[in-house]
Structure formats: structure tokens, C-alpha cells
Structure 1
Amino acid sequence: MTNRKKTAMHSKIIFGQFTQDFFGRHLVTLLSQLISDNPSIDSFWSLERCVSVAARSEPHGPRSPLMFDVEPEFRSTPRKWDLILTAAYERGMRAR
């Protein structure tokens, strides 16, 4: 069996990204998924808190990176929003 067939058998593709393997372990955390799972987010700063909480709730083991597949469209979104959300995710990963 080729590597491509093995990868296709053991992964689930969403938005062109591998998000879970066959056993349900997260390979990547999508920002769009966090936003859609939390409809109460009404500002960029509440999104930052949500990103940190999501990182803390990740199971221990290999780290799953945060992927920015969408840009937050809140009025309060700062210019360097990606750096701020990355730092929040890293803080959450260290706190678990």
C-alpha cells in the first residue's frame, strides 16, 4: 500500500486541511471551527479568550497547531490579530 493510500485511509479532510486522523485525534485546530462552535463571541477579545480556552482543553500529547483559515471580522480586530491569537493559543497550551 502506498503512503498516499495510507494517509487517505487514516485522515479526514475539511477545508483542504487534515483536521483529524482515523482515531479522532486533532491534527490541527481551525479558527473557523472555533468561531462557529462559539456563537456568543461578539468581539476580537472574546475570541482571544476562546482560543486560549480551546488550547487548554486540548488533550495532552502531540501539539496541534492553530490554523488561520479565516480572518476575524470584528470591529475591534487589531492589525496584528494573528500574532495575538497565536500568543493566546501558546499561553493556553502551556497552561494545560
Structure 2
Amino acid sequence: MEMKQRAERLLQALGGADNLTHLVYCASRVRVQLRNDALLDKTSVADIAGVKAIVSVDKQQKTEYQLVMGPGNAKTFYQEIVAAGGLENLAVDR
């Protein structure tokens, strides 16, 4: 599946681009926080090619969802998510 299509599927599984409040990446993970956690479809996220796992981490009254991509894969996927969702305002390059 093409990266853009995966990014669009991921945004849908996360409850839509408007549901994201925070989006960053590191070497092997894309990290997101959501406005409404109930809109998250973890099964659909886990089924997206390239996502090895989804991990929930509690952080000061908010949950951060970490999409485990593997070394060297997170940045490209992150960039596609930003582009597909028009999320430049949330984009935090590291």
C-alpha cells in the first residue's frame, strides 16, 4: 500500500485529523495525542502496513499513543501524516 494511503487510513483510525492535538516522531515511533480517545480504533491502526504495534503511555492527564514503526521508518510516515491531514500546525520536527 502506498504511504499516502496508509497515512489517510491512519488518520481515519485516529478519529480524523481534527482529533489530533499533538504529533511528533522519534527514530522508531510516531507519537500522537488525541482530543477524544473514544474515536481511536486501535484494531484498524494495528492493521495498517508498517505499524508494528500501538502502545498507550499515560502522560500528565493525557494518553500518548505511540505507533511503533521500527528504526528509520517513523520520519517518512510522520511526514505523510502531516501532509495527508494538513497538520503543519501540529508538526514538530526533531
When normalised by structure 1's length, the TM-score is: 0.26
Higher helix proportion, which one? 1
Higher RCO structure, 1 or 2 (CA under 8 Å, sep 6+): 2
Which protein has the larger Cα radius of gyration, Structure 1 or Structure 2?
1
When normalised by structure 2's length, the TM-score is: 0.26
